[in-house]
């Protein structure tokens, strides 16, 4: 095939995609791919699961590099793309404190921990991002999507859908940390799903 013909075909495909999903949707797809790559880049089974309260710097604060919980995967992946969820969540929570969960009996924000709590991230993503369908259709869960689960007993969990498929090629894997380090696993439908988001919205 000649180069000119190939280029015309590719331009045609691009404009078809644009008409089907719109420019905003295309931006979301592109960002999702970047977030997926960022999440894959921080896979490390050696990370110690440590939920202890830790004082960290602000902005761009982080716990020790060899430690973390499920939310730290999301925070670290976004930070690789220049988005500081510690700062973003803190600023929105400070301005809208009454809209965030009061599960911990706090009367004001806490820069050390607020962004590291799944219910707070769910509130932030629902306010600033796009809430996506909760269903059993694997095709609706795309690389870069954020998914949250209820593990029971008041325990919640969060992870990032990435561009790696299950062995049967039926689903994308999820990068998460549930105690075995920062890993990519087939857990999408293993638990009760309570949140599905894309952030940012455009």
pLDDT tens for 50-82 read: 999 999 999 999 999 999 999 999 999 999 999
Q: What is the DSSP string of 1-57?
A: --HHHHHHHHHHHHHHHHHHHHHHHHHHHHHHHHHHHHHHHT-BTT-EE--------
Q: Where are the domains of the chain?
A: 22-198
Q: What is the pLDDT of residues 109-163, one digit of tens each?
A: 999 999 999 999 999 999 999 999 999 999 999 999 999 999 999 999 999 999 9
Residue 25 phi, psi (nearest 5): -60, -40
| Rounded CA separation 62/112 (Å) | 9
* Tokens coding 52: 């202890």
């Amino acid at each position: 095939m000649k180069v000119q013909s190939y280029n015309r075909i590719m331009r045609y495909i691009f404009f078809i995609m644009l008409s089907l999903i719109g420019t905003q949707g295309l931006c979301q797809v592109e960002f999702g791919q970047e977030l997926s790559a960022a999440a894959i880049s921080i896979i490390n089974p050696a990370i110690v699961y440590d939920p202890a309260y830790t004082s960290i710097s602000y902005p761009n604060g982080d716990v020790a590099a060899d430690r973390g919980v499920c939310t730290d995967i999301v925070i670290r992946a976004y930070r690789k793309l220049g988005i500081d969820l510690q700062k973003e969540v803190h600023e929105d929570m400070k301005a809208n404190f009454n809209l965030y969960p009061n599960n911990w009996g706090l009367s004001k924000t806490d820069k050390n921990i607020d962004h590291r709590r799944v219910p707070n991230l769910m509130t932030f993503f629902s306010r600033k991002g796009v809430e996506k369908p909760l269903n059993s259709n694997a095709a609706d869960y795309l690389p870069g999507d954020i998914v949250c689960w209820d593990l029971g007993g008041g325990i919640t969990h969060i992870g990032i859908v990435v561009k790696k498929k299950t062995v049967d090629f039926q689903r994308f894997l999820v990068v998460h940390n549930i105690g075995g380090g920062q890993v990519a696993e087939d857990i999408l439908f293993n638990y009760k799903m309570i949140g599905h988001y894309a952030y940012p919205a455009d």
